[in-house]
Amino acid sequence: MSAHSHTHDSHPGATAWDEHARAALTRAGYRSGAARLAVVDLLARQDCCLSAREIADRLREQGSSVGLASVYRALEVLDELGLLGRLDSGEGTVRYEPAYPNGHHHHHLVCDHCGCVTPFEDDGLEAAIYSLAKQLDYEVAGHDVVLRGSCPDCRLAQKR
């Protein structure tokens, strides 16, 4: 299953998350290991989630010698510290992205056929979630919305 992700080297909030993650690692007593920092730097530049394998592949493409096992260890630490959001994109694949300290987030569309993950934001959806929480007298600390279906490319291929 292939997956598509979007990358921006100047993602808004990238520097803030990078600095936040580094500070959290230091406060938790972790030394600044090269593999962990390489994963932090890479994730800070993403605008959507990546699997551990995709992270390792991109690091290798950038000339890094960080292996998959080191990527998994770095992701485990970052996840334990609450620095990552996780998305189960199906077939046992977990993807990771920065969890911003200011709560900024997006949601995901996942293609059930090719695994393509597309981020989206919707102010109306956010308003509906908080309206429902108020109606139910429920304090929502966070939420994840994942819509599954067929991406435009797979729908087009199915019509052929």
**Domains in the chain: how many in total?**
1
Q: Which residues of the chain have pLDDT under 70?
A: 1-14
Predicted confidence at residue 13, as pLDDT, reads 60
Answering whether pTM is above 0.95, one says no
Q: CATH no. for residue 100?
A: 1.10.10.10
Predicted confidence at residue 9, as pLDDT, reads 39
Residue 3 covered by a domain: no
Interval 24-46: pLDDT, tens: 999 999 987 889 999 999 999 98
Residue 58 covered by a domain: yes
Angle at 71 between CA 41 and CA 146, to 5 degrees: 80
Q: Which structure tokens are listed for 122?
A: 């919707």
Interval 109-133: pLDDT, tens: 989 888 888 889 899 998 999 999 9
Residue 49 covered by a domain: yes
Residue 2 covered by a domain: no
> What residues make up the domain containing 97?
14-159
Residue 7 covered by a domain: no
Residue 71 covered by a domain: yes
Residue 8 covered by a domain: no
Rounded-to-integer distance, Cα 153 and Cα 133, Å: 36
Residue 98 covered by a domain: yes
